[in-house]
């Protein structure tokens, strides 16, 4: 898999929420709640422990956080809005479970996991770098080993511009989008950029992290316009052809190059242009959501 181009997530339009006068409001950020773990009471070890019922999970990569400048207001905002130690692993789990779900374990933990058709890429480390820059975020592979080691660059300049009440949710949504780039296939660099970005936002959508300005009925100029416009098209395809459809698209981009005609016909029996027309019709009739 060749490294993905560092496509920068576009800056969304400013969001004004009720009671706010401008995007630069000085309201204190609302921190994401830290999950509360009740203290376990002291007790004797359970003589008859239940079998481990935890769902099977993929391994996590090494996760690193790099803060370029602690005096940067956007860095402080990040640190006060989210718990990085919780959010990063849970966001990676979200991406893994959307694109590479494991079959539920049927017996004991010693049983080998049931094989699935999904192949998790061998991502070994992910470094989140907070620094001032234009745009929102982008993901790239490390020059020496772009397949195994990924870097997500998140703009502190952008974070400073997000309404304080939304910072935590926006960080979570952008992170899931960028983490998809750490775990998706791109047909050895041949897939349309809009499809790659659409799959990233399809996961963000499925994780219930869509920002308020996304609108389901907002149809793009073409199917691979990218980002949420393609994400809503992919979500419709998944309803039309089955929940695994986007996973099958991703898997096909692992197995070979993206070539039209052929790609969508082999996958869904139709050309993507025909599917796009059908999608637009269904949106017009109010069924595209
Ligand atoms: Zn992206």
pLDDT tens-digit series, residues 93-117:
999 999 999 987 655 556 666 788 9
Asked whether residue 93 is assigned to any structural domain, the reply reads: yes
Ligand 1 center to 194 CA (angstroms): 9
| Alpha-carbon gap, residue 23 to 40, rounded angstroms | 43
| Crossing angle of the two packed helices 84-99 and 245-255, in degrees rounded to 10 | 80
What does the radius of gyration of the chain's CA atoms come to, in whole angstroms? Answer: 21
Q: What is the pLDDT of residue 211?
A: 96
For residue 24, pLDDT over 50 is answered with no
pLDDT band at 52 (very low <50, low <70, confident <90, very high): low
Q: Are residues 151 and 226 in the same domain?
A: no
Ligand 1 center to 244 CA (angstroms): 21
Q: Are residues 143 and 249 in the same domain?
A: no
Q: Are residues 253 and 157 in the same domain?
A: no
Ligand 1 center to 229 CA (angstroms): 13
Asked whether residue 74 is assigned to any structural domain, the reply reads: yes
Ligand 1 center to 19 CA (angstroms): 31
Q: Are residues 148 and 195 in the same domain?
A: no
Q: Which domain holds residue 193?
A: 189-289
Do 150 and 67 meet the contact criterion of CB atoms below 8 Å apart? no
**pLDDT of 197-236, one tens digit each?**
999 999 999 999 999 999 998 898 899 999 999 999 999 9
Ligand 1 center to 23 CA (angstroms): 24
Do 61 and 125 meet the contact criterion of CB atoms below 8 Å apart? yes
Q: Are residues 165 and 64 in the same domain?
A: yes
**pLDDT of 158-171, one tens digit each?**
999 999 999 999 99
Ligand 1 center to 189 CA (angstroms): 14
Residue 52 structure tokens: 């481990």
Ligand 1 center to 53 CA (angstroms): 35
Ligand 1 center to 171 CA (angstroms): 14
For residue 288, pLDDT over 80 is answered with no
| Alpha-carbon gap, residue 175 to 152, rounded angstroms | 8
Q: Are residues 204 and 168 in the same domain?
A: no
Domain boundary among 168, 183, 198: 183
For residue 43, pLDDT over 90 is answered with no
Q: In the 8-state DSSP scheme, what is residue 165?
A: G
Q: Are residues 153 and 221 in the same domain?
A: no
Q: Are residues 170 and 194 in the same domain?
A: no
| Alpha-carbon gap, residue 60 to 128, rounded angstroms | 15
Ligand 1 center to 43 CA (angstroms): 49
For residue 8, pLDDT over 90 is answered with no
Among all chains, which residue has been given the structure tokens 């979500």? 235
Q: How many separate domains does the chain show?
A: 2
Q: 52: exposed, middle or buried (C-beta count within 10 Å: 0-12, 13-18, 19+)?
A: exposed
Ligand 1 center to 127 CA (angstroms): 16
| Alpha-carbon gap, residue 185 to 164, rounded angstroms | 34
| 3-state secondary structure (DSSP) of residue 66 | strand
Among all chains, which residue has been given the structure tokens 């490294």? 3
Q: Are residues 269 and 206 in the same domain?
A: yes
Ligand 1 center to 168 CA (angstroms): 19
Domain boundary among 167, 183, 199: 183
């Amino acid at each position: 898999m060749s490294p993905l181009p560092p496509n920068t997530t576009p800056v969304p339009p400013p969001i004004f929420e009720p009671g706010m006068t401008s995007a630069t409001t000085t309201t204190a950020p609302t921190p994401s709640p830290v999950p509360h773990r009740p203290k376990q009471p002291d007790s004797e070890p359970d003589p008859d422990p239940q079998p481990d019922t935890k769902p099977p999970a993929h391994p996590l990569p090494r996760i690193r956080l790099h803060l370029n400048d602690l005096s940067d207001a956007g860095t402080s905002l990040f640190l006060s809005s989210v718990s990085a130690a919780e959010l990063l692993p849970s966001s990676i789990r979200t991406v893994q479970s959307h694109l590479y779900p494991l079959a539920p374990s049927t017996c004991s933990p010693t049983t080998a996991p049931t094989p699935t058709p999904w192949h998790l890429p061998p991502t070994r480390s992910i470094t989140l770098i907070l620094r001032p820059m234009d745009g929102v975020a982008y993901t790239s592979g490390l020059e020496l080993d772009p397949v195994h080691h990924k870097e997500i660059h998140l703009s502190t300049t952008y974070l400073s511009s997000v309404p304080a009440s939304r910072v935590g949710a926006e960080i979570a949504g952008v992170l899931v989008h960028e983490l998809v780039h750490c775990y998706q296939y791109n047909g050895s660099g041949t897939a349309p950029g809009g499809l790659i970005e659409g799959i990233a936002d399809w996961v963000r959508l499925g994780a219930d992290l869509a920002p308020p300005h996304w609108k389901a009925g907002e149809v793009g100029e073409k199917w691979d316009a990218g980002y949420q416009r393609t994400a809503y098209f992919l979500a419709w395809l998944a309803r039309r052809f089955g929940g695994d459809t986007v996973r099958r698209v991703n898997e096909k981009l692992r197995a070979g190059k993206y070539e039209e005609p052929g790609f969508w016909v082999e996958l869904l029996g139709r050309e993507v242009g025909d599917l796009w027309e059908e999608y637009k019709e269904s949106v017009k009739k109010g069924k595209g959501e």
